[in-house]
Amino acid sequence: MIQDTGYVLKIRDYGEKDKIITFFTYNHGKITAFAKSAAKSLKRFGSKLEIGVKLNITLLSIKENRLKNLQKIEIAEQFPSFRSDLNQFTLLSIFLELIDKISAEDDQNKTAFMLLDSAISFIPRCKKNDNLLFSFQLKLITLSGFGLNLTNCNICNSTMENEFNFILDSNSFVCAKCMQNVSGKCIQLNEGIKKTILILLNLNLNQCERVIINSNYSKIIATILQNNIREIIGSDLMSFDFFKFIP
């Protein structure tokens, strides 16, 4: 028997009555569970099984089966505004999809859970969606061992100062000297962008709104992060498509 607290990452129908639920939990990381008769069992599950809802869950683990059986759920925390606010729901979807794609099954990561917990709790109060999104992405990829190397050139390993470049094809940062021998699409960077990224990485999520980011910096940071995430998970996040249309 497993008891834990976790967020619903995704829900899939299995036949007409059953569902397969993916959770991200505090003690067990990402867990996939089988919810028998979830589509009709209002008494056991009701409307509690929704993505982004924080639940206290009870699971039965069967050795012969990778899937755990979902026995019981209780709402620990939920935010009704996610249902009615497209901006909030889209941010939530990006956070959940990124956690799902970057996390391995049954791999405990309490720090990543606490990051997700803080991010979701802050969504309803956040006034700068880009800042929160950038900060969450930077912290998560760093926790997962894929943090951005903004200090040393990926080719000669020398310290990068003043102006340097991000190469999209190789997902690498290159100093001005090495750039003379590199082809491919690139973005020119400077100390201002570097400083902004490092501030977003190191500030607490609930302080990220303090950072002032102009539109040019915002586009550059978004491109770097999306390129980096594509390299990590092997594809683009589907939820990013919706974020493009949010003002």
Query: What are 183-201's pLDDT values in tens digits?
Result: 889 999 999 999 999 999 9
Please, what's the largest Cα pairwise distance for the chain?
A: 66
pTM of the model: 0.91
What does R_g of the chain's alpha carbons equal in angstroms? 20
pLDDT, mean of residues 198-208:
95
Least-confidence region, from 40-49, 86-95, 178-187, 206-215: 40-49
Run of H or E including 80 = none
Which helix (H) or strand (E) segment holds residue 57: the answer is: strand 54-61
Rounded-to-integer distance, Cα 198 and Cα 32, Å: 35
